[in-house]
Amino acid sequence: MGNYKIILSGGGTGGHIYPAIAIANELKSRFPSAEFLFVGASDRMEMEKVPQAGYKIEGLWISGIQRKLTAKNLMFPFKLISSLMKARKILKTFKPDVAIGTGGFASGPLLNVATSKGIPSLIQEQNSYPGITNKLLSKKVDKICVAYDGLERFFPKEKLIKTGNPIRQDLLQIENKTAEAKDVFKQKNGKHTLLVLGGSLGSKRINELIEKELEFFQTQNVQVIWQCGKLYYEQYKKYNNREDVQVQAFINTMDFAYAASDIIISRAGASSVSELCVVGKPVIFIPSPNVAEDHQTKNAMAIVDKDAAVLIKESELDIDFENRFSQLVSSTEKQKALGTNIKKLALVNATKDIADEVEKLLKTK
């Protein structure tokens, strides 16, 4: 019996979409005849990314609640009612055997209706501090897969399973790719390589920092692989004519980028943090302060508290960055300690472990 019907919902950002796709791929390899359907927010990036991964998707008219009174907020009750009605219709037509939510606006209405219909359900929480959608759903779903300790503060303890976040499998063996990766990215031997990651769209504040510090990096014998994001590429591509800088809008071969790097500067979205644990290189986290419930600072702190990364707040970059960066670059010992400690936190079998939990739910039907 493998012709199950599986519905997945998650989106708004890559951090919610990619885990959902990874879980679907793992389940598809176990149940080739299963039928999959994704449900997303109709104006967000999942409407493009999910079909690219080969899955069908239905969109709901939904968005998050803004913190202040806006026209968008006034629309929220109507969007919610519309989404609940559409979710009910989708579930009635598709008749899933299991419902999976990976966070984001659309998973709220879908999982809400699924649980009220008695459909076995599981949510995956990527962050160390859950979002409002998953907090509300946690009382109703059967299982909650998490990536951090201490989440019984927010969720019913008996439903929690610590699995970690799904990560790209090509990151598991980067050690033996270093020489090839340095060639691919044209990195010179005898220099430190800094990899800068601001997320797929890019980070304005991190880009401004890197531009300002290019001369400083030169004094530190550092060459830079700079993923500036597609929104900013036109602005920063001029630095590609420098031999110690390589600017890219988006890096397709992340395994090589990680393998080529000695130090990484990154935002602290949940998927990035999980990947960086597997990569095991010294990391400087610069969390985005503009994220719901300040998730990124909390994600980064969960690593920093274990002496496994450096954290610099955006507000402290101007005062603190050069000092903290040069301390790290000049100490091989410190780099080694951070790399070793962060690797200890890696949970490499997350996708498989989450799929195991889904399979148990399917078997209870």
Average pLDDT over the chain reads 91
Composition of the chain by helix, strand, coil, percent to 5: 50, 15, 35
- For the record, the structure tokens of 15 come out as 């951090």
**Cβ-count burial of 134 within 10 angstroms (0-12 exposed, 13-18 middle, 19+ buried)?**
buried
327-333: average pLDDT = 97
Residues, the chain: 365
pLDDT of residue 65: 55
Whether 5-167+348-363 shares its CATH topology with 170-343 is answered yes
E strand segments, 235-356:
245-248, 263-266, 283-285, 310-311
Task: Report whether 211 contacts 232 (CB < 8 A).
Answer: no
pLDDT tens readout for residues 82-106: 778 888 999 999 999 999 999 887 8
Q: Give the Cβ contact number of residue 304 at 10 Å.
A: 17
Domain regions of the chain by residue span: 5-167+348-363, 170-343
pLDDT of residue 68: 57
Structure pTM?
0.85
pLDDT tens readout for residues 224-256: 999 999 899 999 999 999 999 999 998 988 999
270-298: average pLDDT = 91
What's the CATH superfamily of 170-343? Glycogen Phosphorylase B; (3.40.50.2000)
Cα–Cα distance measured from residue 343 to residue 340, given in angstroms and rounded to the nearest whole number: 5
C-alpha distances (whole Å) from 122 to each of 23, 37, 361 are 12, 15, 8
267-273: average pLDDT = 91
Cα–Cα distance measured from residue 170 to residue 150, given in angstroms and rounded to the nearest whole number: 29
* Band (1; pLDDT cuts 50, 70, 90): low
* Band (75; pLDDT cuts 50, 70, 90): confident
CATH match for 5-167+348-363 among 2.40.110.10, 3.40.1110.10, 3.40.50.2000, 3.40.50.720: 3.40.50.2000
Cα–Cα distance measured from residue 332 to residue 334, given in angstroms and rounded to the nearest whole number: 6
